[in-house]
Amino acid sequence: MVEPAGAAHGYPGRLIVFEGLDGSGKSTQAALLGKWLAAQGYRVFATEWNSSELVSSVIRRGKKKGLLTPTTFSLLHATDFADRFERRILPPLRAGYLVVCDRYAFTAFVRDAARGCDPDWVRTIYSFAPRPDVVFYFRVPVGVTLRRKLASRQKINYYEAGMDLGLADEVEESYVRFQARLKKEYERIAADDRFTVVDSGRPVEEIQRTLRNYVRPMLQNFPTGAALTHDG
């Protein structure tokens, strides 16, 4: 069995991670939990899987020109995450905040493996990332993610659909096949990395109650204080 990613962080704060396919509802639940924790008086810092200024322009140009191989993709995103971790995650964690992450290193494990990178190699380049206190994995059927994507009227972009991998000629079909690969990887690592699996098909309010009940034991004797703002 593979050991869970990274060592325990050992800092005063708590690292709470949300993972899952796009359209799984994880972002909504992460935002709701963060607001609830702040309302309880805890110091909260929320962060998303956004490109840092360090490499965002490089990634954008590479995508536009179609120059990104799976390995290049992986290395650029690892650099991006390392910058995000050092500037956005580690400081509040050291300061004793509840850090709520909408995606963490596991997103890279899943996406890079789905693109053909060696999973062990990917874990090695992310070995700097400590193990979260809890990882909520939102399990959702691929067909549901497609319906939600289409309902949102957001265009499915080239890389999101895995079109660069030649999985299908049509964008929607390629999207389904690529998302199926991602789901397979999530399911593969869920046990080894000790994910707490959440059925995303339940009502939003019911899921939120479950999450709150899960984190309450983690917060016993945890100090309260002013909240940091979202990193946007």
Q: Taking the model in full, what pTM does it have?
A: 0.90
| Confidence bin at 2 (pLDDT 50/70/90) | very low
In a domain, 228, yes or no: no
Q: How many CB atoms lie within 10 A of CB 175?
A: 24
Q: Report if residue 220 sits inside a domain.
A: no
Q: What pLDDT sits at residue 212?
A: 98
Asked whether 112 and 122 are in contact (CB, 8 A), the reply is yes
Can you tell me which residue has the tokens 């840092």? 52
CA distances in angstroms from 11 to 93, 126, 182, 222, listed in the order given = 6, 19, 31, 13
Backbone angles phi, psi at 66, to 5 degrees: 65, 35
**Residue 12: predicted pLDDT:** 94
- Judge whether 6 lies within some domain: no
Greater confidence (7 vs 17) lies with 17
**Could you give the CA distance from residue 183 to residue 185 in angstroms, rounded to a whole number?**
5
Would residue 3 count as lying in a domain? no
**What does the pLDDT average to over 196-208?**
96
Q: Establish if 225 belongs to a structural domain.
A: no
- Calculate mean pLDDT across residues 192-216: 96
Q: Which domain holds residue 76?
A: 14-214
- Has residue 138 been placed in a domain? yes
Distance CA 228, CA 72 (A): 34
CA distance 232 to 225: 21
Lowest mean pLDDT among 98-102, 166-170, 227-231: 227-231
Domain count, the chain: 1
We report the CATH number of the domain holding residue 34 as: 3.40.50.300
Interval 39-94: pLDDT, tens: 999 999 999 987 566 666 776 676 666 667 888 888 988 988 998 999 999 999 99
Residue 26 lies in a domain: yes
The one-letter code for the residue type at 45 is F
More confident: 63 or 178: 178
Is 183 contained in some domain? Answer: yes
